[in-house]
């Protein structure tokens, strides 16, 4: 475990602001900068939540996976060698954490954890409409419909779909992070889209980038819980 001492932004030499490079934030986090930890959490929350939600079956489970992931990563920064980006490294931790949670819940099922190691057709949606109150309500209802349809996909289809359509990851990047052949990823994306088309039956208005959001109070609360957990462990 890395021994951290709490430092101020001034003493860390860099400000943990929105424009700071990820590598600089990681360096400051190694030095015990709480601000850097909070900024990394803010940036990574959407991706890690969607990755976790692509594997586990509920938002609550996904939040727990994300919190476990942060605690594991920030207390083991000495194990991050820089062979990949920090976001890639912590994404793999999230995937393995979620898979292990599923294994504990359903030990009879087989799961493969991941190790280090094109433009596809998407659903067509109507154009944007003015955000009148009734339209806003309809958009919320349709987002709920989208989330349920995606949640109903089997894990092997749901996770690649979320990574590709919600996180804009390329087929090659998904294949690398999930230790899959790119052809397998393309096949799973095709099957996922085909299932969703059948489920939604052209009733959808909106976009996949809006599903399973992790922002606002939930995002802020995650940072508070992670910082408190690190402080309790003497790691911050």
CATH number at residue 109: 1.10.1740.10
Residues 18 and 105 in one domain: yes
N-terminal to C-terminal alpha carbon distance within the chain: 11
Number of domains in the chain: 2
Q: Give me the pLDDT at residue 118, please.
A: 36
Residues 110 and 140 in one domain: no
Query: Which of 92, 95, 210, 88 is closest to 156 using CA atoms?
Result: 95
How many whole angstroms separate alpha carbon 174 and alpha carbon 26? 23
Query: Which of 189, 166, 188, 169 is closest to 177 using CA atoms?
Result: 169
CA angle, 44 as apex, 213 and 4 as ends, to 5°?
140
Residues 35 and 109 in one domain: yes
| Measured CA distances, 210 to 78, 139, 162, 234 (Å) | 35, 10, 11, 37
Residues 19 and 68 in one domain: yes
Q: Is the pTM of this model over 0.85?
A: no
Average pLDDT on 36-46 reads 94
Residue 220 is assigned to a structural domain of this protein:
yes
Residues 223 and 109 in one domain: yes
Please, what sign has the CA dihedral across residues 4, 7, 12, 18?
positive
* Contact of 67 with 225, CB cutoff 8 Å: yes
Residues 147 and 108 in one domain: no
Query: Which of 151, 51, 48, 55 is closest to 100 using CA atoms?
Result: 55
Q: Give me the pLDDT at residue 126, please.
A: 43
Residues 43 and 87 in one domain: yes
Residue 124 is assigned to a structural domain of this protein:
no
Please, what sign has the CA dihedral across residues 199, 201, 205, 207?
positive
Residue 121 is assigned to a structural domain of this protein:
no
> pLDDT > 90: what percent of the chain?
36
Residue 2 is assigned to a structural domain of this protein:
no
pLDDT in tens, 160-212: 998 898 888 899 999 998 889 999 999 999 999 988 887 776 455 555 566 67
CA 191 to chain centre: 22
Domain hosting 150: range is 133-210
pLDDT in tens, 79-114: 998 888 999 999 999 999 998 988 886 655 544 444
Residue 104 is assigned to a structural domain of this protein:
yes
Residues 144 and 87 in one domain: no
């Amino acid at each position: 475990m890395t021994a951290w001492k709490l430092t101020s932004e001034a003493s860390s030499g860099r400000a943990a602001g929105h424009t700071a490079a990820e590598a600089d934030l990681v360096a400051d986090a190694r030095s015990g900068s709480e601000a850097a930890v909070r900024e990394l959490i803010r940036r990574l929350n959407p991706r890690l939540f969607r990755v976790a939600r692509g594997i586990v079956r509920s938002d609550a489970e996904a939040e727990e996976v994300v919190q476990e992931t942060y605690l594991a990563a920030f207390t083991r920064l000495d194990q991050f060698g820089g062979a990949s980006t920090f976001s890639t490294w912590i994404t793999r931790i999230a995937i393995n954490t979620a898979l292990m949670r599923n294994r504990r819940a359903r030990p009879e099922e087989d799961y493969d954890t991941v190790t280090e190691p094109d433009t596809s057709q998407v659903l067509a949606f109507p154009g944007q409409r003015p955000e009148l109150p009734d339209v806003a309500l309809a958009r919320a209802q349709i987002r709920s419909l989208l989330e349920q349809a995606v949640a109903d996909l089997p894990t092997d289809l749901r996770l690649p779909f979320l990574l590709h359509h919600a996180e804009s990851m390329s087929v090659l990047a998904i294949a690398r992070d999930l230790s899959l052949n790119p052809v397998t990823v393309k096949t799973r994306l095709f099957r996922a889209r085909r299932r969703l088309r059948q489920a939604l039956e052209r009733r959808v208005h909106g976009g996949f980038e809006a599903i399973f959001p992790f922002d606002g109070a939930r995002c802020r609360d995650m940072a508070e819980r992670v910082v408190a957990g690190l402080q309790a462990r003497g790691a911050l």
